Each structure stands twice: as structure tokens, then as C-alpha cells.
Amino acid sequence: MWRLAGLGALSGLLAGYSALATAELVSAAVRPESSPVIAVGGAAIDRTPTPVKDWAIREFGTDDKLVLQLGILAVLTLLALVLGALAARYRSIGSAGVLLFGVVGGVAATNRPDSTSVMDALPSVVGAVVGAGLLYWLAGRLRARRHPEPAEEPMTEEPVTEEGIRLAPVANPAHDHERPGWDRRGFIVAATAAAAASTGIGLLGRSLNGARGQNAIASRNQVTLPAPASAAAPVPKGAALRIKDVSPFMTPNQDFYRVDTALVVPRVDATSWRLRIHGKGVTRETTVSFAELLRMPLIERNITLACVSNEVGGPYVGNARWIGVRLADLLAQCGVKPPSKGGPADQLVARSVDGMTIGTPVEDVMDGRDAMLALGMNGEPLPFAHGFPVRMVVPGLYGFVSACKWIQDIELTTFDDYDPYWVKRDWARKAPIKTQSRIDTPKSFARPTTGTVMVAGVAWAQHRGIDRVELRVDDGPWQQADLAAEDTRDTWRQWSFPWKATSGGHTLTVRATDRTGETQTRKRTGTVPDGASGWHSVVVTVD
């Protein structure tokens, strides 16, 4: 019995593998995002409670999506094993279970925000049909019976004893029917063929999906960013402190944080990309291409971005040099006016190619700040992970209300008429970045030696600017730190403090004050609904 269940579980695993491989191939014909793992993963992200999302980001960082996909594959593997073991005895029921999961995947795919057709269900459904058929077939090999014909025996007389008593013929075991049993050879051949075919199908699907992405890569490689009409001023001397372990003033692209809901980074071909601008107050509805954006006057600015999921002292903040089209100018060309000048729309809803919707106050976009449709980052076209070909950047607002990556649509509407993705999940409609500061060095639980220890870090209050940073040792008085030179009020600012460290355990705490005179609050709050607050502290032991 256990042997039969084990072979059935193996059959289920092969069937699941075949289903996913087939779905991969079919998704290449539909679109890569319709793959069941991506579709189910996206649905899981959409339905995950906010506290769980925050926990995942906090614990796994930018690997949270990889962890989710591995978790989905682990669950599918377990279910495949269970359905296979069930099919060994009840193959119709086990196969029906595989079909049911295909339906679940299809529904998840068609209900994704970026789904535009019922064809998105095709990979899951076709994969499930193939997987169910394979499981039914393999389970049949386990139930097969061998009944070879017995060999004919020559007619012989019945044996007779010396007393003349006839005996019944003695049965010859070699000529009996073979005992019923499973078709081992047939099962091994079938399983091996299924595994080989599934691997080939999966590799073909992966290759075709990869080829589709190659067009996007080629389009990015062909981009040459023109000189901006309004270049960023040189970074002032003294803005970047030469202190070990302090975050660099400019964050390299490969180190810039990434927080979004895309399980697979969209690869968009810039040559076919289009942006549509429409909605309330738009007197001239516009569709613009990437090439047309490149021909428009470009601005170049250093801007610090921050994620609302960043805990106090967290890593999800970075500074980069962006180049793009001033968004206010583009909206004005379409006839858009801010509410302060009589415009009917107070919310700009940006839509991404992956279905994400982000709502931004129109007033903030058009109040004179350097809000832009960014095309480049740190001197090169946007990396795919950061929104190529085009993304939004709005200084002073958290990313979830401003920084739409892979943008393809802008609709002017109102906050009363439409709730974008994060607002539906209990986040704030408007979210200016809070004044924050962080200690980069020494790290928590560090063991510096007595004497002068350089305490340093960064502070930010985008679009207001940092005016003062203070440090406190244990429960002592606040002492003013040395500020590095300011680049602009839209960038973070480095700071340092030479601490005369004495032996023993100490708690170092930092706070910042922005140019409006508001000092960073001590009150500790979580990230929901509009960003974390509180003072950042580290505990060290001085030897």
C-alpha cells in the first residue's frame, strides 16, 4: 500500500511539473505575466493583509518576491504529491484535483489588474489539462495487470500408484497464471518520457519568453539620453562626507532600493511604449511615445526617494540624479489646471503596465516642484527594475503616492471618484515624506573602543530641507551634530558627531529638524497609513 502511494506521489509530482512547463510555453504565446505562478503570486500579494506585507518587506527586503514564489512552488509541490498519492487508488479524483487548481490559476490570472483578456487564463487551464491527463495515464500504469496465457501441456496419463490408484495431476507452478502486479517497466518508461518531454517544453517556453524580453533590452541599449535643457547643479563640495560606513551621497543604481508588487520585473519595449493622458480637465487628450519624450526639453535633478514601508532607521531611501520631462509642463500642454487655479481634477492616477495604480495630488505635481516623467537615472536610461522606459518622480511624496514605475497611463480624476491600489488597502490618500534621520555608523551592538568615535548618518525631509541634526547619548542633553553641505532641499543630508566615548553600554539617539522648524517627533508609529515616525537609536558597548 505504501509503495503504491509513493509511486502515486511521484506521478503527481511529474504531473505538476508537466503542468507548469506547459503553462510556461503557453504563456509565451499569451504574455509572460499570465504564467500561473506569477498570476497566483500576484493574487496572493493583492490579498495579503498590510501587516503581513510590512513584515515580509522588513524580514526579507527585496528578496520578498523570491520568497513568495518559492513558497508557492513549495505548496504546489506538496499538493501535487497528495493528489498523486490519491490518484494511485482513485485516479479520476486525483486528476480532477489537478484540473481544479488550473481553474484557480485561470481565475487569478484574469482577475489581475493588468489583465486585459480572458486569454490570460489559457496557460493555467491548458497546463492543468495536460497535467491531469498525465496523472491519469501514469496512475493507469500503476493499476495495469499482466495475465500471460499459460503454456499448453502435452496430454499425459494420470499417474498411478503401485496399488493401482490414479492420482490427480500435480500442479506445475511454472505453468500457472502469473500473479497480478503493476506494470513496472511501463511505468518507468512513461515517467521518464513525461519528465523529458516536460523539461523540453519548459525550456522552450522559457526561451520564447526570454526572446520577448530581448526586444526590450535592445530598445534600452539603443537609448542615448540627450543633454538636459536644465542641468542639475554640481554637488557642492562637502556634501559627501568621507566617513566609513556612511551611506554614499549618490546611491548607485545597483544599490538603490526596490519595493513594488511586481513578481517579475516588466520588460517594456521602448519603441512600442505609449503614454496616454486623459480625464477631467484634459482639453487635449494626448498619447506620447518614448521618442517624443526624448525630443522634449529635459530637466536633470538630484532627488531623494523614500518608501512608505521604511521603518525608522530602515534602508528604503536613496538619492539619485534623475533626468526627464517636467510633468507639470506636459499636463499644461494637455490643458490641465491645478485645483488652486480652477482645475476640476485633484488627483492624478498613474497606471503601470503591471496594473498598479498610484494616486498623486495634482496640486503637488503642479506647484513648482521638480515632478517629472523620468527617463534616466544616474546618467543612464532607467534600469528595468526602476521603471524603464518611463517612471514618475515627485519630490517630497512617498513612492506609493507618486513614484509609478513602468507608467503607461495618466488619468485626471478626483480623490472622491477613485481609490488607487494602496488606498483600497487602508493607506493614506496623501502622504508627504516625514522628517527622518538615521545613524549609519556605528551599527547597533557595535563594540568601539574608548576615545573619539565618529557617529554619522543621513537625514531627509524632501522638499523642505534639513536645518539641524542632534545627537543624544543615553539620557543626556541633545547636542548639535555637524551638517554636511546641502545640495538641494529635495536631497538628503549627511551629518556627523565626534563622540567622546567612555567604556560601558550606551544608547545613541538622533533627531532632525526641517526648514519649516518642525522637529522629528519622538512618537513611535508604524508605517501604515502614511509612514513611520520616531527617533532612531543604536545600542553600543564601548570597550
Q: How far is CA 325 from CA 225, 322, 374, 381, 404, in A?
A: 12, 10, 7, 13, 15
Q: Residue 93 carries which side chain, given as an amino acid letter?
A: I
* In the chain, where the domains are located: 2-211, 253-425, 436-542
- β-bridge partners, 184: none
Q: Residue 458 carries which side chain, given as an amino acid letter?
A: V
Residue 118 has a CB neighbour count (10 Å cut-off) of 10
Q: Can you tell me which residue has the cell 563622540?
A: 499
What span, in angstroms and rounded, lies between the C-alpha atoms of 270 and 348? 23
Instruction: Tell me the pLDDT of the chain (543 aa) as tens digits.
Output: 667 888 889 999 999 999 999 999 999 888 888 888 888 888 888 877 877 877 787 778 767 778 888 888 898 899 999 999 999 889 899 999 999 988 998 998 888 877 778 899 999 999 999 999 999 989 888 865 544 445 444 544 555 555 555 555 544 444 434 344 567 787 888 889 989 999 999 899 888 887 778 889 999 999 999 999 999 999 999 999 999 999 999 999 999 999 998 888 999 999 999 999 999 999 999 999 999 999 999 999 999 999 999 999 999 999 999 999 999 999 999 999 999 999 999 999 999 999 999 999 999 999 999 999 999 999 999 999 999 999 999 999 999 999 999 999 999 999 999 999 999 999 999 999 999 999 999 999 999 999 999 999 999 999 999 999 999 999 999 999 999 999 999 999 999 999 999 999 999 999 999 999 999 999 999 999 999 999 999 999 999
- Are 324 and 375 contacting, i.e. CB atoms less than 8 angstroms apart? yes
If you ran DSSP here, which 8-state letter would residue 72 be given? H
512: three-class secondary structure by DSSP: strand
CATH architecture of the domain covering 436-542: Sandwich (2.60)
Domain 253-425 = CATH 3.90.420.10: yes
